[in-house]
Structure 1
Amino acid sequence: MKLRLVTTLLSLLLIALLIPAFASAAPQGSAVGIPLYFNGKQLNPEVAPRIIKDVTMVPVRIIAEELGSKVTWNQAQQQVTITKDSMSIQMVIDKPSATVNGVKLPLDSAPLLIEGNTLLPVRFIAENMGIEVNWNDVARAVYLKETKTGSGSTETVLPPTGQPDKTDKPATDANGKPLPVIQSIEMTPTQLLIKADSGTLQPSVFSLRDPNRIVIDIPNAVLNPSMYKNEVTKSGDTVSNNVYVSNVRYSLFNNNPYSVRVVLDMKESIDLKWESGFNTAALVGVLNKAKYKVVIDPGHGDQDPGAKAVNGRNEKEFNLIMGLKVYNLLQKEAQIQPSMTRNDDTFIPLDDRGKFANDLNADAYVSIHGNSYLSTSTGTETYYYKSDSVEFANIMHKHLAAATGLPDRGVRQEAFRVVKITNMPAVLLEVGYLSNARDTELMFDEAFQDRVAEAIVAGIKEQLNIQ
């Protein structure tokens, strides 16, 4: 009896320690899009879980009903009652306490009534309804799991920290074949080493910014429970001995289907390449200084000619000439990996241009255009839309306006599609006016084009802090 009580108290302590992590992992007052899972099944409550004043609140009715409990609502008293077998829980909206079988207990936060749904603090749910709580930091999701003892009562009972749960069956694939069990994750001064007991590991890798992280997903694999530093979240971390990596975190990211996620917290932007081990039971990854990814977007193309120049040529032609010149110069920069949305007379939809840059996880996006209005209109303009692009626009315009020598028409904010939907700093350059005879003559002069291309490259390098 004493052992069972101690185990239960340890479990509740782990859950209590977990709650602050919930708050730090989602926006304060967040009311949107926190998925809720119960016993591996995603629930679809009318009101999603949310973080309110550092407390994770979850909708109680849908959870209670999944447990087979009865939920009743007293409109006059603003009271919700949950009953199951001999258990009775009563709570009143906006009152910071609850009554469990006649015993009054404090709540971390008072119950809320939102759109006809009662939300309760998740710790109360865990402690009083026999539910294990997991917060998945990357997926931003709440995972609830009912835990039962042999007597039929519900309580959270976790194995001793660092020891495997002897009641767990080996994880298997759809054919009943045991999945690889990752035994160790190590970040050495030169390599990332991930070792499993058997089978094959097939990782996928992507990067995140602000802050810089490398995320490695390994499907059809599980972690050895001895690696858990937090039994509730089935997660842990390990010391990094690499100059580029500040910390290594890992977790059992999903259990339907199984997958493991490893996150490298980076000190700067770095590329991870698998040196060996792909499709084997051991992965060996090497970190190298990453190249900055820059997307050059020559506007218009094919059936979309853009503005008509006074010399009879089209804007799409000027844009492509300039884009290729900038691209060729960027290829000579050791720290830059340039890409183009188009390199010939092809039409690319605006959303596809933005998606191209977003999928590359580019560091900068430059769209090149020629303007048109009146025959007397002249000058150079630089456009941006998002707040993260203001500095880039100012830098680029400084270089561009000096190179064209045309009237400086300034930096402007405008919701052009390509600078609105891109995830990185993005600018749209209007080099000059094709409706103006003098501007047009310059814009189709090769010496002018070379000078402007060099200025654009200089602006990109300044934005990326490349000497």
Structure 2
Amino acid sequence: MRKSYAAWMLLLFSFCLLPGLAMAAPAQAQDQLKLMVEGKSVDADVPPVIDQGRTLVPVRVVAEQLGATVTWDDVSRSATIVRGQTTLELTLDRKAARKNGKDVQLDTAPKVHNGRMLLPLRFVSESLGLTVGWEEATRTVIVNSPLTVSVNGSGLAAASTVYVIDGTAFVPVDALANSFGLKDWVNKQTIHQTRTIDSVRVAPLDEMRDLLGVDAQWDQKNSRITFTRDTNFTGVEVDGEKVSIKTTNRVTPASFTLEGPHRIVMDFPQTHLSSKMQNGLDSSYQGIAYQASAANDSDDRETTQNNRVNDQAAEMPSWLSGIEENNDSEDVAVDALSQVTAASVPVASDAKPPLVTTIRYSQYQPDVVRVVVELSQKSNYDLSQQEDGVSVTLKPAPRKTGYLIVIDAGHGGHDNGASGVAGNKEKDYNLAVANKVVKLLSQYKEFQVVATRSTDVYLTLQQRVEIANNMGADLFLSVHANSFTPTSRGTETFYYNANSEAFARLVHSYLVKATGFPDRTVQIQPFYVIKNTKMPATLTETGFLTNEIENKQLMSPAFQDKIAQALATAIREYYLQNQ
């Protein structure tokens, strides 16, 4: 180091003698710009500056603080930086540089300011194998040797950069929380010393250790931080439409649904089977699940085996099973067919029929427990994290019991739809009429009527379509009101698919008669809710909220009753015509 420093002083002296070195500073000045290397603040004789969004620092910082040697070529006006096995060549005012003999392009060129050569810190540091971060709040550039982070022996799956600030290791909050299945819970907690570096939230190692309830060790000699926590899956409890997954620590799984049969799949990270649950595994079917209802006769066993094969194909990743899987999970199986064993937890069948038919579990990956809840029908669900596991609240879709009609009140919640000339909102008109239609149709015992929304809530277009398609609806009607210019008037009805034309024309004939508004005819349009529903579907635009005459009538409860009666009558007539 003494020899390198002497070389640097000679280099600095030569710089001072170079003509033309007192150039103007880069466009963006260095007001209050700070530099921290290996956890300690650095006071450079020439402060760092920012040029084109990149921090430039004096050569002296590179030589002294980063442990590199720097030589200067006066003829080529270039600096050569060597650290370990890495050699960098940078030239004043040129973005073209070289790393270990290969050409690279810089975002900003080296500059000269106040007689000192300034180099792009991030490029130099990262090229030399160092970690670099920018904290906007304090305008501080942070550089330190890289620290590896492991969780229960495995590296973090997400960004895991660790920064050292004033001797304290700051670790990535979200990556750590997610690795332990605690991201949602951590987001609700107060972290007192959180900082944001390179747009990533970090916090002191000790605070994250206590918050997550894990063991954490910082091996400074080997630049390594390890986090460990032993979480076991201990069992399940079922109470009607509520399933409790028991674990020894708080953890939230990644989850998705599959069909054939309907089931909810949950993967618990950094979790292992307890000895009790291991004893329940049936090792004769490695990596293949079975249903709790299987009987002992050969026919039932054959059926069960077929179900296992189907489950295997559905739950293994597409590259392994040869089929595609439509979910957002990252199902990764390592030698899954030979190493994953599974068992079932039988569920008492006191319900008629029970919603939950079987619960299966396995050590799907070395650090992932998979729990599969099989259902007798399609069901939505909510996950709620508990101190001792996860509560799964099931929301089964209504069973189809008759001629199923879905009535859709357009917009809702934060989506107001069009605005009326009196300040009224389309979503309110849509909901009022839709609820009246539902009430009118519900008097017919052969009808099963479902509303996509009966209150002021927001649903996506996809959710509206899924309600109708998943239930196997027979008809779909979406209620809307129109908007355009103040002089625009009239009633129009839309359909898209050929099987919807007759329904749309019948609805329109009743609707125009009820409104008395100008007839804007029946039209074909690819509106999402009528394009993607599988049954006859139509979307009505009763009138224009932007027209003073029509808006006044649309706001009238008596007029809304009249519209609802017309729509209900049209639906009833269509049903009778097609039976």
The answer to whether the superposition gives a TM-score over 0.5 is no
Q: Normalization by structure 2: what TM-score? A: 0.34
Question: Which is greater in Rg?
Answer: 2
